[in-house]
Chain A
Amino acid sequence: MASKHLKSLVLYTGLIGGMLISMFPFYWLMVMSTRTTSDIYKFPPQLWFGGELWNNITRVLQQIDFWGAFLNTLFVSGLVTILVLFFDSLAGFAFAKFEFPGKKWLFVLLLATMMVPSQLSLVPSFVLMATFGWVGSFKALIIPGMVNAFGIFWIRQYATESIPNDLLDAGRIDGCNFFRLYWNVALPILRPAFAFLGAFTFIGVWNDYLWPLIVLTDARKYTLQIALSQLNGLYNTDYAMVIAGTLLAVLPLIIMFLFISRQFISDIAAGAVKD
């Protein structure tokens, strides 16, 4: 009995300790958003909240079109996430559980594409966008955003271990073709994997900075990161204001994560074979 409590205590201490370290910088960010810029480097460091939060936030809202950028970012992130989830899971499932000619080389090619740094393709990608006439439109953000080798790799790995072959056997005996197997067997099992891929795709698009900066021309289409970057002065930056704006931009992500976090719990705990 005592050892169970001890075990519990140790575990909780470890988890909480790690979490405090994890959250401390974020806590400090919150503190800074409530202070002035010159407070940030006072010595000794200021660790408690100040009273400037309202001031900082109002100034952010005055200087940039926060709500417009928020809606734009929501639209782009949401759309890309849905598309990525659908297309990547199809391909990941195929790679995980099926054999077909050329599969090995196609997969190697997939991995290889992840190794090319994105900075390299900045200029030629923009030239492509110009050729298609997509400069300044959301298409330039969404369609290239669907090319996500990472997601396919993730689904493949997850599906490999979590979709039991006998389930697929049973489905095949029932006469299911590939797509039926995908809909009926794979999708329910992949739900936790979807939750992860969806969350992090969403976050990635939400926080993407360099490509939208280059590609968007109309201020009405700006995403949050671009809008926030307008706050940076050339000669000097009001950090407290920028941090306040950044926190505002992070809030929706946290809410989204809380919302789907429950999906991480797999409901295949029993591992039984379904018919």
Chain B
Amino acid sequence: MAVTEPRTSPESGPFQPDLDRQKSLWARIWEHRALYVAISPFYILFAVFGLFPIAFSLYLAFHKWDGIGVMTYNGLNNFKYMLTDAEFWQAVGNTFMIWIYSTIPMLFFALIIAFLLHAPFIKFRTLFRVGYFLPNVTSIVAVAIIFGALFANNYGFLNYLLQSVGLPVVEWLNAPWGIKIAISSMVVWRWTGYNAIIYLAGLQSIPQTLYEAAKIDGASAVQSFFRITIPMLRPVILFTVITSTIGGMQLFTEPQVLVGNDGGAGAAGMTIVLYLYRESFINNYFGYGAAVGWGMFLIIALFSIVNWKLVQGKSS
């Protein structure tokens, strides 16, 4: 298994495959005890700090509770209300649309930026990294003030630019699509650099020897790109797709600080979690909020599985 030839396929996958299926389950577990010890801290902590809240919210989803008083049993009413609530479905629609407007451009830009930064002759790498990284560092409240000022209906910066070239003013925060664009641009601005750095880390871990060997074999730049870079980058791409899917579905802070707890005009910026937050913490319906949370979990899970299959499906 010594390495003298260049590899053209990724070295992903397990290094220590499980060969002895004949052994009993317990024997195998004991044999791999080191591995279980390695992963157990997370699961133990999770059992205590993650599982209880989740179980609690499942219990709560069948009750009515204002957060302070007594919990009264409510059967399936919370779920019924949710499925028949136009505002809930609007929130689902909004969340998907904002996800489309924001995640796809963001990952695309992030990939491009990562490639640009990876080019060997680029200087001032650190400066660029700081510049692209700044958006993610700043507290979201300050960012919201800025974006509010950018997109404001009457005195916003964007409208100022539009006016100065003679175009009509756009009422960004009154129009449903305008609100979504404003929120999406906040998300893109904030997370592109973050994902670019992830891609950069991935790009930089691809061994140069692969490229050199491919060159010797006569591969062109495009061929190298599609047969070395993309496959080697696939685990990292999968990571960003899954985390942006989950993050996008759970979008909360950006719309809340930009347009408020009600999602702005016509509730165009109301995402699912914002809806959950409003129902729980503002309207004091914690039981209903829990039901919404579970509905949301199902939606995210389904959507994530779809995305996972899309990215991972064509594995070599």
Contacts and interface: CB of A to CB of B under 8 A. Distances in A.
Interface of A: 8, 11-12, 14-15, 18-19, 21-23, 25-26, 28-29, 32, 40-45, 87-88, 90-91, 93-95, 97-101, 106, 110-121, 123-125, 127-128, 143-144, 146-150, 152-154, 157-158, 160-162, 164-166, 168-169, 172, 177-179, 182, 189, 192-193, 195-196, 200, 203, 207, 209, 225, 228, 239, 242-243, 246-247, 249-250, 253-254, 257-258, 261-262, 264-266, 268-273
Contacts of B3: 164, 166, 273
Contacts, number: 303
B109 interface: yes
Interface in B44-69: 45-46, 48-50, 52-54, 56-57, 60, 67
SS of B interface (majority)? helix
B205 A99 contact: no
B264 interface: no
A264 B204 contact: yes
Given A111-B242, A178-B35, A264-B200, A18 B49 contact: no
B286 to A, nearest CB: 7
A150 B146 CA distance: 29
A161 B236 contact: yes
B79 interface: no
Contacts of B236: 157-158, 161
Contacts of B239: 153-154, 157
19 contacts: A15-B113, A18-B113, A22-B132, A22-B135, A22-B193, A25-B143, A41-B155, A44-B160, A121-B54, A124-B57, A128-B49, A144-B45, A146-B45, A149-B46, A158-B205, A162-B205, A166-B2, A166-B11, A266-B201
Given A101-B32, A192-B201, A91 B41 contact: yes
Contacts of B46: 113, 147, 149
Nearest to A229: B141
A119 B35 contact: no
A98 B209 contact: no
Of A94, A150, A153, most B-chain CB atoms within 10 Å: A94
Given A15-B122, A29-B146, A95 B39 contact: yes
Contact of A25 (B121, B150, B160): B150
Nearest to B61: A120
A106 B198 CA distance: 25
B76 interface: no
B131 A22 contact: yes
A106 B34 contact: no
Q: Which of A45, A146, A262 has the most CB of B within 10 A?
A: A45
Contacts of B39: 90-91, 94-95, 106, 152
Nearest to B13: A160
Contact of A257 (B12, B133, B205, B289): B133
A203 B136 contact: yes
Given A26-B135, A125-B49, A161-B232, 8 more contacts: A23-B134, A87-B42, A98-B32, A113-B46, A147-B49, A161-B12, A161-B202, A200-B194
